[in-house]
Each structure stands twice: as structure tokens, then as C-alpha cells.
Structure 1
Amino acid sequence: MMSFFSIISLLLLLFSLSSVVISDGESFQKLPVPENRSGPEAFAFDSTGKGFYTGVSGGKILKYTPETGYVDFAQITESSNSSWCDGVVGTALAGRCGRPAGIAFNEKTGELYVADAPLGLHVVSPAGGLAVKIADSVDGKPFKFLDGLDVDPTTGVVYFTSFSSRYTPIQVLIALGLKDATGKLFKYDPSTKVVTVLMEGLSGSAGCAVSSDGSFVLVSQFTKSNIKRYWIKGPKAAGSTDDIFSSSVSNPDNIRRIGSTGNFWVASVINKVVMPTDPSAVKIDSNGKVLQTIFLKNEFGNTLLSEANEVDGKLYIGTLTGPFAGVMKL
């Protein structure tokens, strides 16, 4: 049986050998990650709108602008800057180096919140540098495997998910194979500095996103191929607090709202546990209806697509293990 690292290495090899097809001149661009790191998993955008921030293997958070390319912005641990954290694959050495997963800015304070897969919830000052750990457990229970994160643009409340509360990132294939359903949705309120559990019993809760009007949070269930909705406010929040928002997206990962439009982009693959196929970006509206699907196999091969994030007419596309971020003109 192939080991976890053998499988990830195979995915990286296939991904690096896959050809990138540009269908319209400059419509698709590769932005290779430096220092032999990999997996620009999620993106965050500051108020300048000139580039993006992304977490990569080895525990670094990079800032990218067209003028400077990638530069170091922050790191999860002191070890993240060490030479032996360069070139690590996936979640290898993540317990020491860190592995940033979900990231998002508080638009009012300029602070960057980070869900590090094995090391917990962190925050980075607007100046960057070493991240500050906020929490690695709740009610005495370790997080184990954090994944998605979003910040309510109005309240500054942070919502984040755990893919599993039983298995660690290095055990992700076990979690998928056993259809683990111990994922959770959490809330962190910066005003009270308290973390609370909002939802439990989730199956591969990979991503989350606050609606543009702040009335609900979407949570993807990768293993069950659906998206749940947790009501924050309004009449539905008083009674049943969650429902199935959409079952139309196969194996959804990160979810990102599209400005104030009320729509969302969802990263999707068809999960074969060992070898995912047909990566795509799926746009859905505020009722869960699919509006558009962009198939990305020509650009990304059979890889673990993790995020599609639209800003200023461009779609920024991330992966769990790939060596580059993708940018596509819409």
C-alpha cells in the first residue's frame, strides 16, 4: 500500500508534468511558489487590492504583487524560516513548521487571521512577522485539523472549521476513507477573545464563508458533497440554526463570497480518495443555485484544487499540493 507521502509525491509529480493550456492568450497565468514550497491553499486580499497573501507548506505566508512577485510576509513558527522547512511536501513537519490553511483579513483592523491546520488559530499584525497563537483547543479539546476560515466584514467575528476532530492533517486519507464526521464550525469573537463551537458532526468541513449581508455562514462538507448553512441572524437563527444549502457541488472545498453580489465561488473536485479528478470552480448564488462551472483540468491536471477567489475580474485558484497559484481572467 502506498504511504501518504508517496501519494502526495505522486500527485506533485503528475501536477508538475501536466500541461497548462492557455485558451485565450493571457487568460490563464501560473505564479510558481518560491523556495521549493508548495500548496498556495487559500488567498486573502488587503485594502490596497494590489496583490494577494497565501499560506504555503513549511509554515510561511507570502505576499504577491505583480511588481515584486512573492515576498515573505509572516510565519506561523520561528522554525518556519529555517532552511529545513523549505521544500517540505504537504503537511510534512507541519507540527513544527506550521501549515497555514484558511486565511482572511479583518478589513477594519488590517489583521490577518490564519487557521493553521495542525497548530491552531493565529493572528498576524498588519506589519507581518511571527503569528500570534489565539487558540489550539476549545473546552479542553484540541482542534486536531483546522481548515477553512472567514471574517465577517461587518462585525469582525472570525468563523473557522476543523476538517476532523479525530484525525490530524497527515491522517487525511484515513478520515476520508472512514467518512469521518467529527468536523466542527467555530466562532472567535475578538471583542471577548472567546472561541465557541457552533456546529458539530460535520463530514470533512473544509471551507466556510460569511454571506455578504452577514445573515449566515456557509460550511462545505467535502466528504458528503454538500454545503450547509448556519444562520447567524434573522428569524431562522432563533430556531433551527442550520440547513442544507446546496448539494449541487461535488466535494466542495473552500468557499469565497464574491464582494457584495451575494454569490460565491466554490472549489470542487470529484474525490477518488487517492486520485482526485476534474477540478473545477463553481459559482453559486445566495440560494445555492449553480450559476457557472469552470472546468480546470487542462490548467491543473488531476490535482487537489482548494480555492477559487474572485477579485477585480480575475479568479485566483489555489491547490493543496501544487507548485503554483493560478490566475484566470473572467
Structure 2
Amino acid sequence: MALLRPSTKAAMVSILSIFVFCFPSTVLSESFRQIFLPPTGFGPESLAFESPGGAFYTGVNDGRVLRYQPPTGSWTSFAITSPNRTIALCDGTTDPDKGPICGRPLGLAYSPSTKLLYIADAYYGLFVADSNGRLAKQIATSAEGQRFVACNALDIDPITGNIYFTDASAVYDLRNSSKALLANDSTGRLMKYDVRKNQVTVLLRNLSVAVGVAVSKDGGFVLVSEFVGNRIRRYWLTGRDAGTSDIFLSNLNIVRPNNIKRTSLGDFRIAAATVRQDSQTLVPIRVRVDEHGRISETVSLEAQYGSTPISEVQQSGLSLYVSSRGVNFVGVYTP
């Protein structure tokens, strides 16, 4: 299919967006359940599945990566990212000031072919963990001589196996994320980790708090969300536009876009928020867009989450799994 010119695509997306938000998507037959974390677990940011509907991983506030096994409904501690972490100091903590000691795993991605789990830790950088778990292996802490300050999101290129990840800000770490919002920080970066060369390359700079990443199904482009910029940018990896970027999604009704997850069909699920006109408060929504940035679904999650922000929406099997740093469970929506 021939690509539309940027101006044409923008017009189409704008028209479709107006239609979708005038006639909001509803899901009448969905059920909702909660998979509660262990008693000492809080704040699941991201999820990584071994297989559709199978075991999955999530990172929590106290620095651990946990693994959930569906048949038994049990959680186990799978990996940690900080060599300084101790059980006595860290287990169960929700104190953000302990993050630099305990670690804080945020973005996760699992490679079924290599059985490796990749982890973006807010304080310690990029990691990989094998099936033995325990202390994960640190594989990158800086790019172009600049240390990571707030590693946040990552995804695996389905074609090359390379890792795309973000440093949300070069100034404000996770403890000072509210300051980044107030300052309209625009020092975030999108990077690539070449798994064969063990090398990090910076692809985009000056991003407004880069907190979500997803590579397209064909490996042609990578998306990065700008939490403060209220938009999603597309960086082309192949084709005539390789090495350039454009705006993939920018909509006045969609704010604070967070993690982005590719589905098996090749479209994307986005965790975001919208503004309630009556109270001017933010409420969490999930958004589905196709590979051209056309919105096909927007669903409010206010009934289940109130005004608590969500960080990720991911489809696995027939269900949608929702994570949030403000709760102690993983939400599951099933048709």
C-alpha cells in the first residue's frame, strides 16, 4: 500500500479521532478481575509474557521482578537489578528514596526465542536475565558518554532482536518525576541496543519525558511516547525515511501517553488518560491504534481505577492486562 503524505495522514487521523471521541467506544460484555501481587508487592509498571495467556513478569516498587504462574496463581521472586539490595532494607518498601539502593525495574520485554528477559531499571540502566533469575546482568548504563538518569521503557525488535529503550530524562530521576512535569522537561532519549555488537546508539534526543516504546510488527519503525509532550513519535528504521521521525499520534483528547504495546495483529495498545470536562480531572483510558496511527478504540477505565493513572495495556491471549504504579494488582479485562 502506498504511504500517504504526512499532511494527508494527519488530516485523516484528525477526522477519525473526532469521530471516535464523539462516539466513544464501549465494551459491553467485558468482565474485570484482579490478580493481586504478593503482600509485599506494589506498583506493577509493565508486563512481559512468556507466551499468550501464559506466565508473565512484572517489576515492583521494592526492586524485584516477580513471575506469575497462571495454573497455580502463584508469584515468585525472579530477579533483582541492584547489587546493593538487601531483603531487610528493601522487601516491601514503597519509599522512593530507597530506589537508588534497591533498584526499580520499569520496562520489561521477554524474548521467546532466546528465553531472555530484558529489564529497564530506572536507576541502574539496561539488564538481561536468563531463566535462572537472581541478579540480572547489567548490559548498558550510558550512551555517548552520558549516563542514564531514568531508564523507563523497552521493546524487542521482532525481526532483528535488537532492544529499543528510553531514558525518560537526562536531568530528573524517578524520584523527581513531578519536577520534570513542572519544568516541561525535554531531555529524554530513544536508544537502540545492538544485541550482537553490545553497542548502544542514540536515535532521538530532546524528547518530552520518553516513557513508552514499541517496534512495529515488520520492524519498519519504532514508536516512542512523550508523556509531557502528549504525543507519540515514530522513528523510521527501514525504507526511504529510515533515520527520520514524524508525529504518529497527537490528539487533544489523549494526554499523558505511557507504555505502548504491539499486538499479534500489528496494531498497538496505549495506556493514557483523558480530561473529564465536568471536573477537569484526569481519568485513565486505553487506546487502540493501527500501524498508521488511526484510532479504532478508546475505553475509559475510570470504573475500575478511578483517577489512578495506568502505565500499560497489553493483550495476551483473549484478555487485556493492565498495570499501574498506583495499585497492588494486575487488572484483567476478558470478553
Q: Structure 1 length as normaliser, TM-score?
A: 0.87
In structure 1, the residue matched to 2:54 is 50
1:190, distance to aligned residue in structure 2 (A): 0.9
How far apart in 2 are the matches of 1:284 and 1:168?
30
Larger CA Rg, structure 1 vs 2? 2
User: Quick one: which of 36, 43, 65 aligns to 1:39?
Assistant: 43
How far apart in 2 are the matches of 1:294 and 1:45?
23
Q: Tell me, yes or no, if structure 1 residue 203 matches structure 2 residue 208.
A: yes
In structure 2, the residue matched to 1:134 is 139
In structure 2, the residue matched to 1:155 is 160
The alignment partner of 2:259 has SS state of strand
In structure 1, the residue matched to 2:246 is 243
How far apart in 1 are the matches of 2:319 and 2:266?
17
Aligned ranges for residues 241-280 of structure 1 at < 5 Å? 241-248=244-251, 249-259=254-264, 261-270=265-274, 277-280=282-285
Cα gap change, 1:83/1:202 in structure 2, threshold over 3 Å: closer, same or farther?
Answer: same
Whether the 8 Å CA contact 1:107–1:153 is kept in 2: the answer is: no
The alignment partner of 2:331 has SS state of strand
How far apart in 2 are the matches of 1:71 and 1:81?
17
1:194 aligned partner, one-letter code: Q
Cα gap change, 1:48/1:130 in structure 2, threshold over 3 Å: closer, same or farther?
Answer: farther
Q: Structure 2 length as normaliser, TM-score?
A: 0.86
What are structure 1's unaligned runs of at least 5 residues? 1-22
1:125, distance to aligned residue in structure 2 (A): 0.9
In structure 2, the residue matched to 1:183 is 188
Q: Tell me, yes or no, if structure 1 residue 123 matches structure 2 residue 125.
A: no
How far apart in 2 are the matches of 1:210 and 1:80?
32
Aligned length: 303
Cα gap change, 1:282/1:150 in structure 2, threshold over 3 Å: closer, same or farther?
Answer: same
Aligned ranges for residues 1-330 of structure 1 at < 5 Å? 27-47=31-51, 49-66=53-70, 67-80=72-85, 82-89=87-94, 91-237=96-242, 241-248=244-251, 249-259=254-264, 261-270=265-274, 277-330=282-335
Whether the 8 Å CA contact 2:274–2:285 is kept in 1: the answer is: no
1:235, distance to aligned residue in structure 2 (A): 1.3
**How far does the alpha carbon of each residue in 1:248-290 deviate from its partner, in whole angstroms, 9 at most, with x for none?**
332100000001x121000002489xx9721011001111111
The alignment partner of 1:299 has SS state of helix
The alignment partner of 1:92 has SS state of helix
The alignment partner of 2:101 has SS state of helix
**How far does the alpha carbon of each residue in 1:203-246 deviate from its partner, in whole angstroms, 9 at most, with x for none?**
011100000111000000111111000000111116xx100001
**How far does the alpha carbon of each residue in 1:285-326 deviate from its partner, in whole angstroms, 9 at most, with x for none?**
111111111211111111121000001110010012311111
Whether the 8 Å CA contact 2:110–2:117 is kept in 1: the answer is: yes
The alignment partner of 1:113 has SS state of strand
